[in-house]
Amino acid sequence: MNYDFSEKEFNLFIDIQEKVSRVAESVQLDRKDPKRSRENIKQVLEQLAQTPYLQLGLQPVEGYQGQLSLMGAAEVLAAVSPSAYLSVEASTRLFGRAVNEWGDNSQKAKWLSPLLEGQLIGALALSEETLNIENDPLTTKGDRQGESVVINGAKQYVINAPIADWIAVAGFCDDAYALFLIEKETPGLTVEPAIETLGYEGTPISRIHLDNCSIPAEQIIFPPAKAEMPQTLRMWENQMLLGASLGLSKTAFESARDHAKTHRSGGKPIIAYQEVGFKLADMLTLFQTSQLLAYRTAWTAETNPKEAGELLLCAKVFCAESAETVCSEALKILGGNGYIIGNNAERAYRCAKYVQIAGTSTEIGRVKIGDAALGYRD
């Protein structure tokens, strides 16, 4: 195991930090702004397309370590802008990865090439109301009618739906799992207005409905049965949420550390109070441990897939819970300043509530880890 990053990788991290910070200086990437959100995310994608970032984890890039490089870079992007990170990743590592892994050559040419050039925004719709991915079947269905397929169903909470050029909708067709690739403004597709959320306000999210939505059969991707589509999509979402968790811990820790060094109370910088130092020490320990687990998970995803599934669940639970704790402790150190809307730590705290429930939630994650420990699942 070697989780060291090369100079080339560190340079990529610096490049991402600088490029996306520049965009963030000119537009509010983490504020709800339905009129500008598509333009904002397009700007970030265009910057990232000038680096290898969008290809990482999808295609081999010389000098980079696939998933491991991606995790290091994801942490940086998710710290600069949690909202931009979630949008970029839902487009690239959910929509794009599905096309990359399961699409045929003409589908890859149609969707993957523009996506990697930062010209296309994608979304992936899996979750349905009352759907528990472990137990319930998908109810979205496509029925063949001649050369076309007519789809009916509804999805709740789809990241990027209000701004996406294409939405990949998970469902059934011909009694097999399928992804229906639907272009915006296709008749029968209704994208509801962006919903208000506790955190990630710069990430546009909405519900979608499909009412007799007709698409050509070439716009369907059939993953192989052994791919277990819903579980695999959840796994990719969990990987994406590890990067999100690291970024939140990083930005909250750095805010608290910088504040502790400069803010004075009782005639001295608050870092002079031992209790503040202890808090920072605990936060850093959680952050560093999260990094190690996430990096190991990324490394294992490519070197030992059999071990990777269980490790990913352990990492998802630990990193998400740690992010919430680190952000919460940061707010205590920031005192009244932390409670004022608009600082990095309070924003990260609100986002951290999402990474606990999204993908495999902490509760379901623990159940599954327990089952694996008892040998009830592979």
Ligand X SMILES: Cc1cc2nc3c(=O)[nH]c(=O)nc-3n(C[C@H](O)[C@H](O)[C@H](O)COP(=O)(O)OP(=O)(O)OC[C@H]3O[C@@H](n4cnc5c(N)ncnc54)[C@H](O)[C@@H]3O)c2cc1C
Residues interacting with ligand X, by CB under 6 A? 90, 124-127, 132, 134, 157-159, 197, 205, 354, 357-358, 361, 363-364, 367
Query: How near is the Cβ of 157 to ligand X at its closest, in Å?
Result: 3
CB 216 within 8 A of CB 295: no
**Using an 8 Å Cβ cutoff, are 88 and 42 in contact?**
no
Q: Which residue type sits at 183? A: E
Is the Cβ of residue 159 or residue 280 nearer to ligand X in the bound state?
159
For ligand X, the closer CB: 134 or 302 = 134
The rounded distance, in Å, linking the Cα atoms of 56 and 79 is 18
Output 69 or 238, the one with its CB closest to ligand X. Answer: 238
Tokens of 58: 């999808």
Residue 153 backbone phi and psi in degrees, to 5: 160, 180
Q: Nearer Cβ to ligand X, position 194 or 283? A: 194
Q: Which two tokens stand for residue 182?
A: 């639907």
In the complex, the smallest distance separating the C-beta of residue 135 from ligand X, rounded to whole angstroms, is 7
If you search the block for the tokens 């000038």, which residue do you land on? 50
Q: How far is CA 13 from the centre of its chain?
A: 18
The CB-of-205 to ligand X minimum distance in angstroms stands at 5
* Nearest distance from C-beta of residue 125 to ligand X, angstroms: 5
Nearer of residues 24 and 229 to ligand X, judged by Cβ: 229
In whole angstroms, the minimum distance from the beta carbon of 367 to ligand X comes to 5
Closer to ligand X by Cβ: residue 263 or 350: 350
Q: Which of 213, 271, 219 is nearest to 98 (CA)?
A: 219
Q: Is 135 exposed, middle or buried (0-12, 13-18, 19+ CB in 10 A)?
A: exposed
Ramachandran bin of 13, using left for φ above 0, alpha for ψ from -120 to 50, beta for the remaining angles:
alpha
DSSP letter at 324 equals H
Quote the least distance from Cβ 356 to ligand X, whole Å.
8
With respect to ligand X, which residue has the nearer C-beta, 43 or 140? 140
Closest CA to 120 of 166, 53, 181: 166
Tell me the backbone φ, ψ of residue 214, rounded to 5 degrees.
-105, 130
Q: Which amino acid is at 352?
A: A
- Shortest reach from residue 109's CB to ligand X, in Å: 25
DSSP character for 95?
I
H or E element in which residue 273 lies: none
Rank residues 39 and 363 by Cβ distance to ligand X and give the closer one.
363
Instruction: Count other C-beta atoms under 10 Å from residue 254's C-beta.
Output: 15
Which residue lies nearer to ligand X by CB, 69 or 140? 140
Residue 269 pairs with which residues in a beta bridge? 264
The residue written with tokens 């639907």 in the block is 182
DSSP code at position 84: H
> What's the CA gap between 146 and 148, in Å, rounded?
5
Give the nearest distance from C-beta 244 to ligand X in angstroms.
11
Q: How far is the CB of 274 from ligand X (least distance, A)?
A: 37
Residue type (1 letter), 79: A
